[in-house]
Amino acid sequence: MPEKLVWVGTSWKMNKTIDEARAYVRTLLPHLPMPGVQAFVLPSHTSLAAVRDTLPADTPLLLGAQNAHWADEGAGTGEVSMRMVKDAGALLVEMGHSERRRDFGENDDTVGLKARAALDHGLIPLICIGEPAEVRTAQMQEEYVLDQLREALRLLSPTEARRVIVAYEPIWAIGTGGRPATTEQIAPVMQAIAAALTEVSDGCARGTLLYGGGVAASNAAELLRTPNVDGLFVGRAAWTAQGLLELLRIGSAHAEASAAH
């Protein structure tokens, strides 16, 4: 994929029927691609194949799955495997989201297993890391997220580590009760994550680094100007096609401004 693209995408979480998912994508497609931007969406498992079948063969929109198990197959009731989500159209696989850690027992060990399995199946791991409010209050956020990151990458080679996407999502900034983070709050953490990614990549070009948590049209441009932010991983602000399109336009303007400098 071309370098220097601004990544802007969204997870629909537990939203949208198959018909609603198709309608969203059909609204989006006439406006894609946008200059300088890589758009992506993570539908629910039930809608993933339907969205894939709605897209043209040369689509600029990347699809992802919100979760997948590390085993190829087996007695994982209610789970889907990496090979299954790939078969349904996924290129990206999200792992480590704070809601999955909190509600479904996902931990640093299973995130590492999932990252390994995703790459084994030709998929791109989208690894979520982020600290809770009490860790931020104690000013331990950098140590906390770097521990998460190192565990997630522990089974990967330096070359493989360069292929991952990492989304920093401070838990206290997520959801309806979250408080949007400021550039001053996230910049030191993004710098620390970027340095760690470069280190595990043996000093070569690092993987893509996104910011997520309280992202909206009102703060997207400022967040994108934060050093080491390669793009945005958006929640409810992009649950409508028009919402995502607005954020894609902001990303495109940022890419143009960055290229001019």
Q: Which residues are catalytic?
A: 97, 169
Three state DSSP letters for the chain? CCCCCEEEEEECCCCCCHHHHHHHHHHHHHHCCCCCEEEEEECCHHHHHHHHHHCCCCCCCEEEECCCECCCCCCCCCCCEHHHHHHCCCCEEEECCHHHHHHHCCCHHHHHHHHHHHHHCCCEEEEEECCCHHHHHCCCHHHHHHHHHHHHCCCCCHHHHCCCEEEECCHHHCCCCCCCCCHHHHHHHHHHHHHHHHHHCCCCCCCEEEECCCCCCCCHHHHHCCCCCCEEEECHHHCCHHHHHHHHHHHHHHHHHHHHC
C-alpha 75/C-alpha 72 separation (Å) is 11
Maximum C-alpha span of the chain: 54
